[in-house]
Structure 1
Amino acid sequence: MVDNIDCTVQNSNRKRIKFPFILRFWWTSSFLLSLARATIDAHFIITNHVQLRWQESVDVIILLSSFCLLVLSIRGKTGVIFSNSDEITEPLLNGKNEKLSEVKRDSPYGKATLIQLVTFSWLNPLFEFGFKKPLDQDEVPDVDIRDSAGFLSQDFDQCLKYVKERDGTEIPSIYKAIYIFARKKAAINALFAITSAGTSYVGPYLINYFVTFLNEKKFRSLESGYLLALGFLGAKLVETIAQRQWIFGARQLGLRLRAALISQIYKKGLILSSQSRQSRTSGEIMNYMSVDVQRITDFIWYLNTIWMLPVQISLAIFILHMNLGNGAFVALAATSIVMAGNIPLTRVQKAYQTKIMDAKDDRMKATSEVLRNMKTLKLQAWDSHYLQKLVSLRKTEHNWLWKALRLSALTAFIFWGSPTFISVVTFGGCVLMGIPLTAGRVLSALATFRMLQDPIFNLPDLLNVIAQGKVSVERISSYLQEDEIKCDAVEFVPKDQTEFHVEIDGGKFRWDAELRNPILDDIELKVKKGMKVAICGTVGSGKSSLLSCILGEMQKLSGTVKISGSKAYVPQSPWILTGNIRRIFSLAIHMKVINMIEQLKLVH
């Protein structure tokens, strides 16, 4: 009975999606046009007693395909089912969908075929599940093993090891390691990027021939028109496929390098020596992981611009020279002027952004201080004074924002107006030089000017990204070259070979290598298994330093440190509680009772 109700509810909430009416009307009209054309061809062949040519064969193929579309338009259903389930169906669902768990276990990208990689159809199962219901975290597939952080970290370690062995140095160059790590994927992305940039200029190249064909179609064969149309279609198809592939590949390579660098920074932070920890704070290490790694990732994205810029500009000048002759050099001069003028604007925009962030930080800092000390400000009647200070800070931030917005408006005007400026200068130069401007030449030149818009404004961004990426790589390289904890500082002994868990014999330790006298001298410590040891002493007597010796964080001058089994260090968190002795004592008893209750729960 329950199963019948469940099926009834699900069927009532399931809705089949149909094709749009306009699309069905277009398919029907296309079939009627193809049928009329096929009828005319058949009448022509029968009347003139000629053989079937390839144009008529193409018309027959188009008729068959349009007939299939006609069937779909009559049927009207897409085959996709939309499930609008209400809350009444939730209690009847037992367990999770098996398909979802299967997608979670296997990465669709790792098992994708060549056709699926080209068309990105390996994402269709995920889109199907996401169309039915919002995706949960456990329904999103795992990444491929080659994109996992563990695999990428090991791969980057091997690159560092290879550079170290090849150069014969203890400190490998991170530039060379990044190059070896990313060269294969970057070469494939560069090939796709160059292909996309090259095929994008096929359209402007063929426009002049297409206009000439339309003007002289009485004297041209129909085959040349079909070839031109096929050239436009094929070039756009190749450009789209190559463009999607290099964009996806650039993002993938950037994420791979990001995961590898973050893993290296994190692992380096675990083994930093005590002296290195004093110069590298936790906030600085977090900036390496977030800001610097992101800048390097941005450089990977703009890396393909290095290969695309010369191809795009060279092809544009070639097409313009073919159509306009010496007018192409006028276009080149105008393009150079626009590109050169855009570089200082980008630098000023970066400077304005820095000023905005500084003003924002000052305003947020002052606002936080005012809110945190509002009681004191009210008691001292300082609210008006600090209000004026906040207004002044807001005004400063407003001024920098206004300057940045005006510069952004100017940059946007140049961006959208650069094709018009270049075309006016080029066509004016052609008129002065007496170069005839036909419809085909003008249309081809206008399309080429529009294609030049992207490389004009990618060059300043590329220069800024290169500068920022270089600084970030040097910062990370300097961090990765910091001193580490010595591997021989602590000796690990198997449990069956000693009766002591911790053993220090004649140890001499110091924090700084420049100090002559050791901080801890002649340390003798033996702790048996299961013992509880308390280290007592005044402030600054070396209690924490002794624990650092056991961890291997202090520099060992002489002696031995042996550890049997595993070790862990839990630092203290000092805190101050206001109140009298009675209140503190009662709070301590209360916390002790809560801990005992929690322990009893764990036991039961």
Structure 2
Amino acid sequence: MQAFWTLLCGATECSGDNAENGCGSVIDPYSCIHQILIISIDALLLLVFLVLLICKSCSAKKSIATSWSAHFSPLQIATAGFNGLLSLGYLGFGIWIISKKIKTEQTVLPLHDWLEVLFQGLGWLLLSLTVSIRKLYFPFVGFTRFYVVTGSFFAGFLFISCVWEVVVKNSVSLGLILDIMSLPGAILLLLCVFERQDHGDPNGSLYEPLQGMEPEDIVKVKDNVTPFAYVGLLSKLTFWWLNPLMKTGKHEILQEDDIPLLRREDRAETCYSSAFVKLVQGEQVFEYEGYALTASLFLVKCLESLSERQWYFQTQLIGLRIRSFLSAAICGKQLKISSAASITHSPGEIVTLVTADAYRIGEFPYWFHQIWSTSLQLGLALAIAYYAVGLATLAALFIIIVVVVGSSPLAKLQHKYQKKLMEAQGRRVKATMEALSNMKVLKLYAWETHFKDVVEELRREESEWIGAVLAQRGYNLVLFWMSPILVPAVTFWTCYLLGISLNAGNVFTFLASLRIVQEPIRLIPDVVGAFIQAKVSFHRIVNYLEMPELQNKNVKQKKHEWGVDEEAVIVETTEISWDLNRSSVMATLRNVNMAVKPAEKVAICGEVGSGKSTLLATILGEVPYVNGT
């Protein structure tokens, strides 16, 4: 056993309980124990990899002979290239270590110096080539993903140990750089192995063909589903799936057939500033702090850009779904609403519910996320400000509280004015729709001037409420746009009174953190306005959907076949009325008894207003009050 440790580590003390002579801890990248652990894990991963290759060669499933280039994606090529270069770096570094030891020491012992690097290079080379390129022909997808996830955890361990070595001991070497670069390579492998591959119909059975559709028409319907339904993660992050539509729109005017169909789920039925200042002043924590801060800022800005794009897109997608199902619900309610309720809701009001109210609720998801994100950014900014100026942050917090409290009555007034505006808009749309639908009567009786005056008066009332809403929004804008000016002024004045020293570091940090939240603070009036509009529109739609529907409890239907001598329609009522509040004296029809046999022709005669249409509506179950059956 001692000979093994001497061969591997060059020290027999490594086999004892107290590790000395460079054996060190597991986290130390230069320790013997750390390197033996890496060699063992690499050997285990290579062994599992060889077992998977043997199982693939023994599998009876044959691969379909297709062109490799047809299955390549930009992510696969980037993964193979990056990890291939990384593995070549490991192998070259290992060969350089061997040649240096032979040249200087005339031996390759101990083995742990170069064996770890060669195992790392061989492992990354085989893993990257197989997973990124040959993944399409690999039989065990679940096990392959588990294999790559395990390797990623291993790369994360290497990354943490190397960063610890760089930060704590200020030690930098080519081996540490290669181990740090293994984490981005592992992330690329994860993205590659979880990238969706579709060899069959990518659209599945999203759309079923209509009866009488030709096969070529079916193919067109399936091929025209949006690529967003089946593309991989990288394409979704970068919006690469929009390129075909963009190219089409570049060369010609987009037609209806050029717009792809929706997915199934989208359809109606389904503190770094202070660190930079200290760096400029020459106060570095470690040797390469400037490079680390620059790289961190670049990565953070990339993440911010990707997350914001996805935020905008996903909230618009959710809003599209909300508008879709609200419009469907309103249209469905219109088909079942009772006659008494339909009198109080004109067609113009229904149109306003679909076009204006549903649209405002659909736009609310974007502003909803502004509520919590603004609060989170304010909290983080106050924490950074406390780190920079200490107790003077309380003055900034006081100003923010005063601004929020002062905006509360303005928000209540805006909610009141917004409600009045929606009511005035509904009356104006109702009058306009009535005038347009009865234009023939207006022309015959020369009532155009009268109706024009009525619509203009309603429009004047609506304009007054629009001015009131915009005035309240302006007051909110003035209040919140003043806060970024008041907060630093009051904070620095408080620093002067408390004797807190101000230098370039804490002043720049405070102003930079305040600049970050300046835009979210200025958006607060828009957030409040969108919330109030969505709330008012939501209550309007709910009130409409809660209106009474047609009651068919007095209509009984038989399920069996009709006989020749059996009545098909039987009406036995004492009172029929369109209004539930009317007395029997005001009933539209009284004492109606009628029986109709199958295939029998019945004529209903009577003068205008005698109740012919009411009788037919009674048979259909559309009259709200029927005393009888």
If the TM-score is normalised by the length of the shorter chain, which range does it land in?
0.5 to 0.7
Corresponding residue for 2:612? 543
The yes-or-no answer on 1:131 pairing with 2:250 is: yes
Corresponding residue for 1:144? 263
Corresponding residue for 1:212? 278
The SS at the match of 1:557 is: strand
Matches of 1:113 and 1:283, distance apart in 2: 44
Matches of 1:395 and 1:509, distance apart in 2: 46
The within-5 A match list for 1:84-483 is 101=220, 105-151=224-270, 205-216=271-282, 221-342=286-407, 418-483=483-548
The within-5 A match list for 1:520-539 is 520-526=590-596, 528-529=598-599, 533-539=602-608
Alpha-carbon deviation of 1:392? 12
Q: 1:98 to 1:293 in 2, by over 3 A?
A: closer
In the alignment, is the contact (CA less than 8 A) between 1:104 and 1:142 conserved in 2? no
Matches of 1:462 and 1:335, distance apart in 2: 17
Corresponding residue for 2:108? none
Matches of 2:465 and 2:595, distance apart in 1: 63
Q: State the AA in 1 paired with 2:620.
A: L
Matches of 2:617 and 2:420, distance apart in 1: 43
In the alignment, is the contact (CA less than 8 A) between 1:342 and 1:457 conserved in 2? no
Matches of 2:466 and 2:343, distance apart in 1: 38
Kindly report the root-mean-square deviation, in angstroms, between the aligned alpha carbons of the 2 structures: 4.8
Matches of 1:420 and 1:411, distance apart in 2: 15
Corresponding residue for 1:513? 580
Matches of 2:546 and 2:475, distance apart in 1: 44
Corresponding residue for 2:47? none
Q: State the AA in 1 paired with 2:268.
A: A
In the alignment, is the contact (CA less than 8 A) between 2:338 and 2:548 conserved in 1? yes
In the alignment, is the contact (CA less than 8 A) between 1:502 and 1:525 conserved in 2? yes
The SS at the match of 2:229 is: coil
Q: State the AA in 2 paired with 1:521.
A: N
Q: State the AA in 2 paired with 1:145.
A: R
Q: State the AA in 1 paired with 2:251.
A: K
Matches of 1:470 and 1:399, distance apart in 2: 21
Matches of 1:394 and 1:257, distance apart in 2: 30
Matches of 2:362 and 2:458, distance apart in 1: 34
Give the one of 550, 554, 565 matched to 1:485.
Answer: 550
Corresponding residue for 1:557? 627
In the alignment, is the contact (CA less than 8 A) between 1:320 and 1:328 conserved in 2? yes
Alpha-carbon deviation of 1:133? 1.4
The SS at the match of 2:228 is: coil
Q: 1:315 to 1:481 in 2, by over 3 A?
A: same
Consecutive unaligned residues in structure 1, runs of 5 or more: 1-45, 62-96, 152-204, 560-604
Corresponding residue for 1:66? none
Alpha-carbon deviation of 1:57? 7.8
In the alignment, is the contact (CA less than 8 A) between 1:100 and 1:139 conserved in 2? no
Q: 1:132 to 1:98 in 2, by over 3 A?
A: farther
In the alignment, is the contact (CA less than 8 A) between 1:339 and 1:456 conserved in 2? no
Alpha-carbon deviation of 1:315? 0.7
In the alignment, is the contact (CA less than 8 A) between 2:337 and 2:548 conserved in 1? yes
Q: 1:102 to 1:309 in 2, by over 3 A?
A: same
Q: State the AA in 1 paired with 2:592.
A: D
Matches of 1:272 and 1:396, distance apart in 2: 30
Q: 1:104 to 1:424 in 2, by over 3 A?
A: farther
Q: How many residues align?
A: 405
Q: 1:520 to 1:140 in 2, by over 3 A?
A: farther
Q: 1:213 to 1:113 in 2, by over 3 A?
A: same
Q: 1:409 to 1:486 in 2, by over 3 A?
A: closer
In the alignment, is the contact (CA less than 8 A) between 1:331 and 1:426 conserved in 2? yes
Q: Deviation string for 1:82-124 (max 9, x for gaps)?
A: xxxxxxxxxxxxxxx9999468632322223222222222222
Q: 1:342 to 1:100 in 2, by over 3 A?
A: farther
In the alignment, is the contact (CA less than 8 A) between 2:399 and 2:483 conserved in 1? no
In the alignment, is the contact (CA less than 8 A) between 2:415 and 2:532 conserved in 1? no
Alpha-carbon deviation of 1:231? 1.9
Consecutive unaligned residues in structure 2, runs of 5 or more: 1-99, 105-171, 183-215, 436-441
The SS at the match of 1:109 is: helix
Q: Deviation string for 1:535-586 (max 9, x for gaps)?
A: 2211221111011012210244323xxxxxxxxxxxxxxxxxxxxxxxxxxx
Deviates more, 1:108-117 or 1:482-491: 482-491
Q: State the AA in 1 paired with 2:330.
A: I
In the alignment, is the contact (CA less than 8 A) between 1:349 and 1:404 conserved in 2? yes
Q: Deviation string for 1:303-358 (max 9, x for gaps)?
A: 22332233122111100000111121122223333444455566677888899997
Matches of 1:302 and 1:349, distance apart in 2: 17
In the alignment, is the contact (CA less than 8 A) between 2:481 and 2:522 conserved in 1? no
Q: State the AA in 2 paired with 1:260.
A: F
In the alignment, is the contact (CA less than 8 A) between 1:506 and 1:558 conserved in 2? yes
Matches of 1:391 and 1:469, distance apart in 2: 27
Q: State the AA in 1 paired with 2:596.
A: K
Alpha-carbon deviation of 1:242? 2.3
Which structure would you say has the larger RCO, counting Cα contacts within 8 Å and 6 or more residues apart? 1
